[in-house]
């Protein structure tokens, strides 16, 4: 069996797609129409999506996948204890940011799915510490204090710039609320000319239509 530590659910034309990952590597992709899962008659799209997620994690062994809810909830799997290169910063920054974005995408009222996260740049932050020069430790030239510019790419053609901090040689855990994320999605969609599907509004309209009938 192959261990997975992340799962993402995306909406498809015919239902949902679950993608299991081992950090960044895709382990398996499961289409809801290829499984025995069916949504409850009274479930809205958000509820159905979460129910499919639960179904996939509980039945992961069916697809030869080892899934542990406890391990999946761990903050992140740091690869480097110090950062000599920008590439090393990027690897750990992506690993740290991805689970948070996955959770936000799942909770987002808009119908969006994560396509990619990449690092755009690492830029030195000013500090008055004498042992740091241009954002790096003078003793070994490893990164010490920096601003990390990330790009969150959504499958709908939306690109979101997000900044992370590196302090005392370590990448700080990102913090972003669902309200902030939804605002960023809406703003960038407007700039890109992308028409968003509001799942909450859609679910309410469907509920009102059922009541009316």
Domain that holds residue 172: 86-192
Asked, for residue 200, whether it belongs to a domain, the answer is no
If one counts every other C-beta atom within 10 angstroms of the C-beta of residue 163, the result is 11
Alpha-carbon span 185 to 179, nearest angstrom: 10
Ramachandran area for residue 137 (φ above 0: left; ψ -120 to 50: alpha; else beta) = beta
The encoded tokens of residue 138 equal 């003078």
Same domain, 67 and 99: no
Asked, for residue 107, whether it belongs to a domain, the answer is yes
Q: What is the tally of structural domains in the chain?
A: 2
SS3 string, 22-65, reads ECCEEEEEEEHHHCCCCCCCCCCHHHHHHHHHHHHHHCHHHHCE
Q: What is the pLDDT along the chain (213 residues), one digit of tens a residue?
A: 888 888 888 888 889 999 998 866 889 999 999 999 998 888 887 788 889 989 999 999 999 999 877 666 544 567 888 999 999 999 999 988 988 898 899 889 998 989 999 999 999 999 999 999 999 999 999 999 999 999 999 989 999 999 999 999 999 989 999 999 999 999 999 999 999 988 888 777 777 777 777
Determine phi and psi for 208, rounding to 5 degrees.
-65, -35
Same domain, 167 and 145: yes
Same domain, 65 and 132: no
End-to-end CA distance of the chain: 49
Alpha-carbon span 93 to 89, nearest angstrom: 6
Asked, for residue 197, whether it belongs to a domain, the answer is no
pTM here is 0.68
Asked, for residue 155, whether it belongs to a domain, the answer is yes
Same domain, 160 and 97: yes
Same domain, 158 and 103: yes
Same domain, 62 and 103: no
Same domain, 118 and 158: yes
Same domain, 124 and 171: yes
Q: Which of 25, 48, 72 is the last residue of a domain?
A: 72
SS3 string, 70-91, reads HHHCCCCCCCCCCCCCHHHHHH
Same domain, 110 and 66: no
Same domain, 144 and 175: yes
Residue linked to tokens 């901090």: 165
Same domain, 12 and 95: no
């Amino acid at each position: 069996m192959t261990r997975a530590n992340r799962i993402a659910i995306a909406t498809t034309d015919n239902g949902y797609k679950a993608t299991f990952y081992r950090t960044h590597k895709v382990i398996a992709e499961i289409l809801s129409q290829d499984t025995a899962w069916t949504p409850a008659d009274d479930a809205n799209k958000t509820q159905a999506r979460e129910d499919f997620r639960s179904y996939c994690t509980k039945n992961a062994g069916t697809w030869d996948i080892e899934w542990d809810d406890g391990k999946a909830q761990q903050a992140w799997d740091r690869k480097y204890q110090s950062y000599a290169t920008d590439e090393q910063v990027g690897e750990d920054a992506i690993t740290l940011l991805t689970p948070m974005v996955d959770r936000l995408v799942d909770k987002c009222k808009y119908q969006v799915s994560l396509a990619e996260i990449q690092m755009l740049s690492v830029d030195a932050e000013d500090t008055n510490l004498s042992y740091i020069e241009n954002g790096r430790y003078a003793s070994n030239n490893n990164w010490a204090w920096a601003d990390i510019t990330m790009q969150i790419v959504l499958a709908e053609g939306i690109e979101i710039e997000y900044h992370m901090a590196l302090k005392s040689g370590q990448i700080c855990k990102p913090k972003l609320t669902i309200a902030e994320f939804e605002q960023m999605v809406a703003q960038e969609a407007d700039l890109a000319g992308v028409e968003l599907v509001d799942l909450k509004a859609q679910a309410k309209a469907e509920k009102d239509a059922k009541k009316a009938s």
